[in-house]
Amino acid sequence: MTKTIINNARVIDGLGSEPLQESIVVFESNKLVYVGREEEYEMSGDEQVIDAQGGTVLPGFIDSHVHVMMEYDAVQKRLETPFSFKFYQAAEYMKKTLNAGITSVRDALGADLGVKKAVEEGLVAGPRLQLSINALTITGGHGDGYTTSGQTVELLQADYPGMPDGRADGVEEVRKKVREMLRAGAEVIKVHATGGVLSATDHPEFTQFSLDELKVIVEEAEFRKGIKVMAHAQGAEGIKQAVKAGIHSIEHGIFLDDEAISLMKEHGTFLVPTLLAPVSVLEMAEELGMPESAVQKAKDAVDIHRESVAKAHKAGVKIAMGTDAGVMPHGRNLRELELMTQVGLTPMEAIVATTKTAAECLRWEDKVGTLEKGKLADIVVVKGNPLADIASLSDTDTIQLVIKDGKIEKDLLTQ
């Protein structure tokens, strides 16, 4: 079988060490077979060569928090969108995601098993998906679209075949709800442990679900399939409760206090900051119109969010890159890396958070996240040196070549 060599590039392998110079990346079929110095590689004679033109080779990027089935729209527009149209839109969103260099994502609610199957079977282009199906929420919680008018307007419609409704209250209901999500194909369980910015009837600092409920959710997921739980958690109390219950990753983590941070360190909990989310909510409020309550909550969140993530990083909490893409337009995911460097991560740390650590957060570290022999050929070539200009990654044209599972999905190098 033909091997493919990518040469003429600096290689950032995702492990966090200095870029490899005079090195190449070689893959065969969908696996990496060599990463290292060019002169030490033994040619077999049937290689084809991709010239990276002096750019940088990296592992395919991983976004630990996206919603491929949505892109935020004003309520009126949502009400006018036919149900099935959203699946066609999702195909476009996933293509944009892939074009941005993201080869794996964790879908933090909204995508069902059919969406994943369509990507896996090559019907539509998209990143490798890890599904949560739908998030568990308390009645009146972050995931409950009930509005003060008495009408229910969901961000994303649920309760159709393959997409159970997420509402559950009390330990027995949440146990059953976890089982329903697993039955529908969930590979990770998502739970709304606190209120949030976009929900009408709550606030980021409201604690939702009791410690007992959260423990049962974690236990049920672990017992059944060794599956982990990710928690939308913004207020400090809700975060601490989630960490104590054994939740695997804290999403957003807007109001982190010292106790929450030390608990996260102690439990080895991941933080998925989604710094881009409140920033984008404010940008979009102008453009699309958004409830005043959401705008005010986003304004309140931006600065404290940055301080929280900065503190957590300094303390050594594991940080996995995630954006909440879907709340903002898809395809600009790597803007998050620039925001991460603004709160104290080095460019290399931001890259590791988007490769190796994100793979660990998804528990896919045995197959993706670094450029190492034996891993899947998920490879990105970018123009220039992202360590010198991390913001350049935000521009999709910087992403020159995207290979997922050994297949070229985007190629600007040979054009």
Active-site annotation, residues: 190, 324
CA distance 200 to 178: 25
* CA angle 88–188–351, rounded 5-degree value: 80
Task: Give the per-residue contact string, 184-213, with Zn ion (x = CB under 5 A; - = no).
Answer: ------------------------------
The smaller minimum CB distance to Zn ion, of residues 62 and 171, is found at 62
The smaller minimum CB distance to Zn ion, of residues 112 and 324, is found at 324
User: Which of 57, 19, 97 has the alpha carbon at shortest distance from 334?
Assistant: 97
The smaller minimum CB distance to Zn ion, of residues 108 and 231, is found at 108
The smaller minimum CB distance to Zn ion, of residues 3 and 330, is found at 330
CA distance 133 to 180: 10
Minimum distance from residue 198 beta carbon to Zn ion (Å): 9
**Binding of Zn ion at residue 338 (CB under 5 A)?**
no
Residue 45 DSSP class: S
How many positions of this chain bind Zn ion (CB under 5 A)? 2
Minimum distance from residue 67 beta carbon to Zn ion (Å): 6
The smaller minimum CB distance to Zn ion, of residues 142 and 240, is found at 142
Pairing of strands 379-382, 56-59: antiparallel
CA distance 310 to 384: 27
> What's the chain's length in residues?
415
CA distance 394 to 400: 13
* CA angle 402–409–104, rounded 5-degree value: 65
**Binding of Zn ion at residue 63 (CB under 5 A)?**
no
58, 108, 193, 337: residue in contact with Zn ion (rule CB under 5 A): 108
Residues 305-334 that bind Zn ion (CB under 5 A): 324
CA distance 155 to 199: 9
Q: Which stretch binds Zn ion (CB under 5 A): 27-35, 104-112, 357-365, 381-389?
A: 104-112
Minimum distance from residue 251 beta carbon to Zn ion (Å): 7
Minimum distance from residue 294 beta carbon to Zn ion (Å): 14
**Binding of Zn ion at residue 119 (CB under 5 A)?**
no
Token output for 241: 């409760």
> CB of 191 within 8 A of CB of 217?
yes
Amino acid at 101: G
> CB of 301 within 8 A of CB of 324?
no
Amino acid at 50: I
Q: Which stretch binds Zn ion (CB under 5 A): 23-31, 55-63, 103-111, 113-121?
A: 103-111
The smaller minimum CB distance to Zn ion, of residues 324 and 336, is found at 324
> CB of 279 within 8 A of CB of 329?
no
Minimum distance from residue 325 beta carbon to Zn ion (Å): 9
Task: Give the per-residue contact string, 365-394, with Zn ion (x = CB under 5 A; - = no).
Answer: ------------------------------
Minimum distance from residue 343 beta carbon to Zn ion (Å): 19
> Which positions touch Zn ion (CB under 5 A)?
108, 324
